[in-house]
Structure 1
Amino acid sequence: MDAKTLSDLQFSKILDAASAYCRTSRGQELIRYKQMYMDPQACDAELALVEEGIYCFDLPNPPSLGGVEDMTFAFTAAAKGAVLSPSELIACAKMLSIGAETSHRLEAGRLRIPGLAALFNELKDLSSVAQRVFDTFDDEGRIRDDASPRLAEFRAKALSLGRRVKALIEEMAKSTKLEPILQDDYYTIREGRYVLPVKAEEHRFVPGIIHGSSQTGATLFIEPSQIVEDNNQLKVVLESIEVEERSIKADRSKLLGKYAEDARLLGEAIWRLDSILARSELAKRMEAHRPSIGAPADGLQLSSIKNPILFLLGRNVVPVSVELAGQHGRALVVSGPNAGGKSVTLSTVGLAVAMMRHGIFPAAMPGTVIPWYDQVFTVIGDPTSMEKSVSNFTGQLARLDQIITKVPEGRTLVLIDELATGTEPRKGEALATAIVEALVEKGAECIIATHFDQLKMMASNHPGVKNARVGLDKAGRPSYRLELGESGESNPFDVAAAVGFRKSILDRAKQLVGERERMLEEALANANKLNQELLEEKAETQELRKKLAADKKRYEQELIRLRNEADRLVYEARKEVLQKMKRLEDELEAIAKQAKAEKAGQVQGRRIEVTKKKREVQRDLLAEMAMVENHPTEQLPLADLKVGAKVWVAGLASEGTVMEVAADGRRATVQVGLLKTNVKLSDLRVPKPVSKKSQKSKPVPKKPELDTETVKLTPVDEEDLPFVRSPENTCDVRGMRLDEAITEVDRFLDMAFLNQVPQVMIIHGMGTSALLKGIRQYLKKSPYARRFRAGMVGEGGDGVTMVEVGGKV
């Protein structure tokens, strides 16, 4: 981006506006003479700091840099042995104090502004040095009496002597004896000594030392001999005070000189922070947002951006959105009426790129993407020069030839306003078209403001060229809004009428327009009208599509809800069947116990009856699983129960692998996904074979026929039933404190007891085992826990506790 481009864009006004928010002169210099960033990562990091600066204003105690002067020169002089004046010492101390305070305030907000806080990392806290200097001076900048013990002594002595001498000379001035020989009844000070104004002719009557005379010579200023000695002592004391004050200033200067380098680094951090906060304040005023630096393949995307110069002038700026897709060889032709905003659009685009490259937010909304252009050129304004015999037309051509020659291999943005208008219109139009074609062919990305129809028509036969227009409102006035994808009419007659130009001249001009051109304009107007109607229909169609998409999403969510509800109902039904089987097992166990006390023949009938009921329940469960889920129902033969065998676990409705078989053959440890669980042989099924045919269609298996003579009647413990986790039987207290966890477990067990849930799982994790021990200690006393145990390997091990709900055994 050369100097000509920055000048055309009036970029110096942006720098002046940003520097006006600085609190220090050095911060203003950093902004006014700031160079462009040549690296996208460094530029993006600077933009991030400006964004943090906006957050900084919302801190409870934001940094304040008002009143800080650049005293680096004073620190350097002090380091070389110079004695600083009181004002310089105080200014140096203020710089150190504000730097330390700023560092503390940024550190307090480090979570929100880490980048700004890092500016002061590793800088020494020199607040104690500053305080040492502050304690030396009073509010008026004079050295305090307590700055040193000797100074206090000297000043007290001077005050005593001064009072005594003053009392003596006042007495002499009012003496009636001396009244005739005194010129006035007052005393004065000459050369630091008290004297009386004595008439020249009477001076022999006042013995003492003459310290001068009046301009007329009529008055001699005589130090009476009575106070000469006291004046001598007072003079000596005052000189001692002066020497001591210089010694104090030298001591404080030496102290500051020790930290000259630290003060320089602190100053640089302060000026840098000041320049960042100034740009942040400008961004906040313009309601600007941080732009994204585009990737190599990203196009230019400006979202609702305002022209910053017009905004700073207090104008009512209409935001525009500009899009230039693609990476190389693209052009956007902006057309429309005069004073409609074409030139403002070019200025806005150019300023947005320049501001981003200088670490300043363009006045755009979120979503703005600005590519990293290697060069930005402008052909804007009037290049006419009488001295160099350059016309507007020849000046444009010279600039364009320079641009075409300098187009690099990287990305180049070219902004052209009213190309080739300073010559014969038809030939100028052809020349403008050829220039744009050459720039696009060289790979440049161009935005051109024009009235030429041939440039507007390029979009129809060149894939890299798009149209945009600035339109008119309903009253025929420019709307200053940019509409992408359409070409605009210049409408000079309408614009002239809108500004009140003479109607008679306009009428004559309209008569001079050829019939053919007028017909073309009318056709173009009709086409634009038709296109506007199509755009409105497109907008309605898009709105309808959005509505349909929303309805589809709502229906999909409802379908998911219904499926979840169906799963819940199946789970409830399965749980009810399992509970019924458990009750039957309990009844069988009771019958077995009763058989020991009674004759076997009296109980045999009842045993057979209950066994039949159990088979019916099992048959119903298998049938339900077959109908609802199409799961395997064939009982796994004992001979097929081997380590490594694939089996179907009915309780988990999942396929697993046998990892271990119990010695009695009634149980096996099965790996289901990441879960290992102990499963009864009766809950294992033969898995369905996988084949293309079975994948296409899944027939419902036939209900299994149970052999009533081969079923072995054995009582079943609750532990024999597979534990299926659900929200009703699982309580997760991981991450809670012990007291919170015990409260939650007590509430959970109470609900489980009321809902007759036979067995529950409490997940507490391993951790430090504090929850594990505390919860199991509580379960020993809980009236709801009949018994409990640690989880098995497939259940979670010591990370869970399985609780049988009921009264204490």
Structure 2
Amino acid sequence: MWLDAIRPLEFSAVRAQLARYTAFSASETLALELEPSNDIATVRVWQQETTEARALLDQQPQVGVGGARDVRALTRVARIGGMIPPHEFLDLRATLLAARNLRKNILRSSEAFPRLAFIAASLDDAPRVIDEIGRVFTEQGEVADGASSELAQIRRDLRVAQQRVMERLNHIITSTQYAKYLQEAIITQREGRYVVPVRAEARGRIHGIVHDSSASGATLFIEPLAVVELGNRVRELTLQEQREVERILRELTALVAQFADAIDYTVETLAQLDLAFAKAKYSAALKAVAPVIDGGSREQPAYLELSKARHPLLDPAKVVPISLELQRAFSILIITGPNTGGKTVSLKTVGLLALMAQSGLHIPARAGSRLPVYDGIFADIGDEQSIEQSLSTFSGHLKNIVAILRAANERALVLFDELGAGTDPVEGAALARAIVEQLLERKIPALIATHYAELKAFAHTTPGVENASMEFDVETLAPTYRLTIGLPGRSNAFAIATRLGLDRALVERARANVGSSNAELETLLAQLKKTREETARELGRAAAARENAEKASKQNRRELAETQRQRSEILRHTREQARGELDAARAELNRLKREWREIPATR
């Protein structure tokens, strides 16, 4: 279903970029094999995971699966009764500890990150395995003496035996009796036996067993007879040590086998979480946002609306963002404009962002951009020159188109680049129009890039189909890569010819040779462009005037509010003053009443 879009839209390159943000091989594989889902609930869950992961990384930049390894190969060894190599156990323990630490970090903020917490809660760190590996191994990855009491005793005995051998050999190499026969006064090992380097011509002077010789033959490595028995003891104890270590490792491997399913699930869960972190890091790198995943409603079916969308694989400093919508006022958008003007990039941007959104990736666009969940995305995109020059290429593209028309439905998105090109222009235009009509009848959303003027006119007069154009600056003779909805692109051939200095009479003769309908269409397009630019300027002036009016209104409201505040303050002060004077008058009246009552009555 998705193979028809992944290759032409270069989704594999996006997956490769994503994989660079993963922390270990299991999540890297998930990133490289990432595919979109056409289930809206799944897509929303994936988007939630990415959004939560980005928020978590903003709070705790160091959070992650540090130390984790894909240890599923070790559990396979354990399941079949094999023996895990000693150094691999530390990787296994580090992975389980990474799971423990990550689970603790995420569950600590489960309310803020419910989806990540739900995933992290299932991490099983197999504590028995962690503890047993920690007990058996040193930090350097060696089996510790305390791994078993038997091993501890063997190693004690081995150290004693080795010490005795070294004492005997040290006596020999420091003896003046043997010094002249030695190449060097050192003790070394050959084939697990302790030896001294003896000059070849002194072979019979130091009796013992020859275990090796130098490349030149001038030196013999001899185990003196005086230490052979002690060497045998060292060898016996070394073999005992090896057998005991192997027994311990097999026992530990058997323990891993008991937890193999849990360990495998933990690795898979760590990979899932690390993929979410990788998506979050990729989102931050792209300055991307979580798209609105539109499920539609009875009143308004799901539609696509991208604002300031950028192609994720192009240089962000140079790429020109595009804004467009689909499936609201119209279901088919016809994009016209000059070669290398950005038509193909626009198609790829829309298709690639749809694939990214349905894979749980944030998209490089303005916040509020929305996308439906498509059942499939079908793209026929190729090199324009090869399309125009090769009949076999035309046949190949036509086969793709036939396959797409058979597979697509109203819940799919179709992308056609240079539809109908590569054959006779009249027949190609007729074929392209017939295909657009069928897409319209079947209500299949589509973005179509073309050069055909007939499709411009068809879009202009047909409900459900809209024109768009890639702008071209005639002054600089360069495309601007800006996409304009509602206005078809012009050929600009005559303007470019004039600009480049072609004789004006030749240009006018060429104009006369163009059919009247084409000439009228180009004139209409020029008028539409001029009207649109004037309207944009008027809208800009109106917006500026509205902004100034709003500022003035805000200032008036602030002044009115201040006047009302001052009035209220004066009224409050006046009331308080009057209340004070009234209270004083009442107090004076009461005093006079008391004095009056106290004066004796006179007759």
Question: Given the two structures, how large is their TM-score scaled by the length of structure 2?
Answer: 0.83
Aligned to 1:99: 99
The answer on 1:43 being equivalent to 2:47 is: no
Report the secondary structure of 1:333's partner residue: strand
The answer on 1:5 being equivalent to 2:9 is: no
The answer on 1:305 being equivalent to 2:309 is: yes
Alignment deviations for residues 706-731 of structure 1 (CA, whole Å, 9 cap, x no partner): xxxxxxxxxxxxxxxxxxxxxxxxxx
After superposition, residues 542-557 of structure 1 pair within 5 angstroms as: 542-556=543-557
What is the identity, as a one-letter code, of the residue corresponding to 2:456?
A: K
What is the identity, as a one-letter code, of the residue corresponding to 1:12?
A: S
Q: Do the aligned partners of residues 577 and 190 (structure 1) sit closer, same or farther apart at CA in structure 2, a change above 3 Å counting?
A: closer
Aligned counterpart for 1:322 among listed residues 313, 321, 324? 324
C-alpha deviation, 1:90, in angstroms:
1.3
Is the 2:68–2:96 Cα contact (8 Å) retained in structure 1?
A: no
Q: Do the aligned partners of residues 583 and 90 (structure 1) sit closer, same or farther apart at CA in structure 2, a change above 3 Å counting?
A: same
CA–CA separation in structure 2 for the residues paired with 1:284 and 1:149: 54
Query: Is the deviation greater in 423-432 or in 375-384?
Result: 375-384
What is the identity, as a one-letter code, of the residue corresponding to 2:552?
A: D
What is the identity, as a one-letter code, of the residue corresponding to 1:101?
A: N
What is the identity, as a one-letter code, of the residue corresponding to 2:464?
A: G
Alignment deviations for residues 447-471 of structure 1 (CA, whole Å, 9 cap, x no partner): 2222222322234423322222211
Report the secondary structure of 1:413's partner residue: strand
Report the secondary structure of 2:37's partner residue: coil
Aligned to 2:262: 262
Query: Is the deviation greater in 48-57 or in 184-193?
Result: 184-193
Query: Is the deviation greater in 375-384 or in 362-371?
Result: 375-384
Is the 2:498–2:507 Cα contact (8 Å) retained in structure 1?
A: no
Aligned to 1:289: 289
Alignment deviations for residues 82-121 of structure 1 (CA, whole Å, 9 cap, x no partner): 4322111111111112222333343455565443344322
Aligned to 2:540: 539
CA–CA separation in structure 2 for the residues paired with 1:465 and 1:33: 36
Q: Do the aligned partners of residues 101 and 526 (structure 1) sit closer, same or farther apart at CA in structure 2, a change above 3 Å counting?
A: same
Aligned to 1:514: 512
Query: Is the deviation greater in 24-33 or in 250-259?
Result: 250-259
C-alpha deviation, 1:61, in angstroms:
5.5
Report the secondary structure of 1:483's partner residue: strand
Unaligned runs of 5+ in 2: none
Aligned pairs, how many? 593
Report the secondary structure of 1:468's partner residue: strand
Alignment deviations for residues 123-169 of structure 1 (CA, whole Å, 9 cap, x no partner): 34557853653464445533234544543443343233223224434
After superposition, residues 385-534 of structure 1 pair within 5 angstroms as: 391-408=392-409, 410-473=410-473, 474-492=475-493, 511-515=509-513, 517=515, 519-520=519-520, 521-522=522-523, 524-534=525-535
Is the 2:414–2:444 Cα contact (8 Å) retained in structure 1?
A: yes
CA–CA separation in structure 2 for the residues paired with 1:43 and 1:146: 52
CA–CA separation in structure 1 for the residues paired with 2:307 and 2:402: 32
Aligned to 1:365: 366
CA–CA separation in structure 1 for the residues paired with 2:376 and 2:423: 29
What is the identity, as a one-letter code, of the residue corresponding to 1:11?
A: F
Query: Is the deviation greater in 429-438 or in 82-91?
Result: 429-438
What is the identity, as a one-letter code, of the residue corresponding to 2:545?
A: L
What is the identity, as a one-letter code, of the residue corresponding to 1:324?
A: L
After superposition, residues 56-135 of structure 1 pair within 5 angstroms as: 56-60=56-60, 62-75=62-75, 77-78=77-78, 82-107=82-107, 110=110, 113-125=113-125, 129-130=129-130, 132-134=132-134
CA–CA separation in structure 1 for the residues paired with 2:498 and 2:281: 43
Q: Do the aligned partners of residues 587 and 331 (structure 1) sit closer, same or farther apart at CA in structure 2, a change above 3 Å counting?
A: same
Q: Do the aligned partners of residues 59 and 341 (structure 1) sit closer, same or farther apart at CA in structure 2, a change above 3 Å counting?
A: same
C-alpha deviation, 1:172, in angstroms:
5.2
Q: Do the aligned partners of residues 258 and 495 (structure 1) sit closer, same or farther apart at CA in structure 2, a change above 3 Å counting?
A: farther
Alignment deviations for residues 294-332 of structure 1 (CA, whole Å, 9 cap, x no partner): 241243211111111223xx77211111223517x5222
CA–CA separation in structure 1 for the residues paired with 2:317 and 2:504: 31
Q: Do the aligned partners of residues 497 and 196 (structure 1) sit closer, same or farther apart at CA in structure 2, a change above 3 Å counting?
A: farther
CA–CA separation in structure 2 for the residues paired with 1:230 and 1:535: 100
Q: Do the aligned partners of residues 252 and 440 (structure 1) sit closer, same or farther apart at CA in structure 2, a change above 3 Å counting?
A: same
Report the secondary structure of 1:310's partner residue: coil
What is the identity, as a one-letter code, of the residue corresponding to 2:121?
A: N
Is the 1:384–1:390 Cα contact (8 Å) retained in structure 2?
A: no
Is the 1:300–1:369 Cα contact (8 Å) retained in structure 2?
A: yes
Alignment deviations for residues 759-782 of structure 1 (CA, whole Å, 9 cap, x no partner): xxxxxxxxxxxxxxxxxxxxxxxx
Q: Do the aligned partners of residues 475 and 207 (structure 1) sit closer, same or farther apart at CA in structure 2, a change above 3 Å counting?
A: closer
Q: Do the aligned partners of residues 202 and 541 (structure 1) sit closer, same or farther apart at CA in structure 2, a change above 3 Å counting?
A: closer
CA–CA separation in structure 2 for the residues paired with 1:581 and 1:3: 91
Query: Is the deviation greater in 232-241 or in 549-558?
Result: 549-558
CA–CA separation in structure 2 for the residues paired with 1:139 and 1:505: 84
CA–CA separation in structure 2 for the residues paired with 1:458 and 1:190: 90
C-alpha deviation, 1:354, in angstroms:
0.5
Q: Do the aligned partners of residues 13 and 505 (structure 1) sit closer, same or farther apart at CA in structure 2, a change above 3 Å counting?
A: farther
What is the identity, as a one-letter code, of the residue corresponding to 2:375?
A: D
Is the 2:331–2:465 Cα contact (8 Å) retained in structure 1?
A: yes
CA–CA separation in structure 1 for the residues paired with 2:43 and 2:88: 37
Report the secondary structure of 1:69's partner residue: coil
C-alpha deviation, 1:9, in angstroms:
0.9
Greater helix share, structure number: 2
Query: Is the deviation greater in 318-327 or in 352-361?
Result: 318-327
Is the 2:487–2:525 Cα contact (8 Å) retained in structure 1?
A: no
Aligned to 2:341: 340
Is the 2:338–2:470 Cα contact (8 Å) retained in structure 1?
A: yes
C-alpha deviation, 1:356, in angstroms:
0.3
Percent identity of paired positions between Structure 1 and Structure 2: 30
C-alpha deviation, 1:46, in angstroms:
1.5
Q: Do the aligned partners of residues 182 and 61 (structure 1) sit closer, same or farther apart at CA in structure 2, a change above 3 Å counting?
A: closer
Q: Do the aligned partners of residues 253 and 548 (structure 1) sit closer, same or farther apart at CA in structure 2, a change above 3 Å counting?
A: same
CA–CA separation in structure 2 for the residues paired with 1:401 and 1:295: 29
Q: Do the aligned partners of residues 218 and 73 (structure 1) sit closer, same or farther apart at CA in structure 2, a change above 3 Å counting?
A: closer
Alignment deviations for residues 652-687 of structure 1 (CA, whole Å, 9 cap, x no partner): xxxxxxxxxxxxxxxxxxxxxxxxxxxxxxxxxxxx
Aligned to 1:768: none
Alignment deviations for residues 555-607 of structure 1 (CA, whole Å, 9 cap, x no partner): 345445545655565555555555555555545544554454358999xxxxx
C-alpha deviation, 1:478, in angstroms:
0.5
Is the 2:384–2:418 Cα contact (8 Å) retained in structure 1?
A: no
Alignment deviations for residues 242-297 of structure 1 (CA, whole Å, 9 cap, x no partner): 23322333444345444434323321221112211212222211111111112412
C-alpha deviation, 1:24, in angstroms:
0.9
Q: Do the aligned partners of residues 73 and 217 (structure 1) sit closer, same or farther apart at CA in structure 2, a change above 3 Å counting?
A: closer
CA–CA separation in structure 1 for the residues paired with 2:577 and 2:124: 74
Report the secondary structure of 1:440's partner residue: helix
Is the 2:38–2:373 Cα contact (8 Å) retained in structure 1?
A: no
Report the secondary structure of 1:57's partner residue: helix
What is the identity, as a one-letter code, of the residue corresponding to 1:331?
A: I
Is the 1:469–1:484 Cα contact (8 Å) retained in structure 2?
A: yes
What is the identity, as a one-letter code, of the residue corresponding to 1:308?
A: P
C-alpha deviation, 1:364, in angstroms:
1.2
Is the 1:335–1:342 Cα contact (8 Å) retained in structure 2?
A: yes
Alignment deviations for residues 335-390 of structure 1 (CA, whole Å, 9 cap, x no partner): 2222111111011000010110011122112121112233322232269999xx97
Larger relative contact order (Cα-Cα within 8 Å, sequence gap ≥ 6):
2
Q: Do the aligned partners of residues 401 and 218 (structure 1) sit closer, same or farther apart at CA in structure 2, a change above 3 Å counting?
A: closer
Q: Do the aligned partners of residues 215 and 550 (structure 1) sit closer, same or farther apart at CA in structure 2, a change above 3 Å counting?
A: closer
CA–CA separation in structure 1 for the residues paired with 2:538 and 2:200: 112
What is the identity, as a one-letter code, of the residue corresponding to 1:41?
A: A
Report the secondary structure of 2:325's partner residue: strand
What is the identity, as a one-letter code, of the residue corresponding to 1:351?
A: L
CA–CA separation in structure 2 for the residues paired with 1:552 and 1:115: 46
Q: CA RMSD in A?
A: 4.3
Is the 2:182–2:197 Cα contact (8 Å) retained in structure 1?
A: yes
Q: Do the aligned partners of residues 189 and 340 (structure 1) sit closer, same or farther apart at CA in structure 2, a change above 3 Å counting?
A: closer
What is the identity, as a one-letter code, of the residue corresponding to 1:428?
A: G
What is the identity, as a one-letter code, of the residue corresponding to 1:369?
A: R
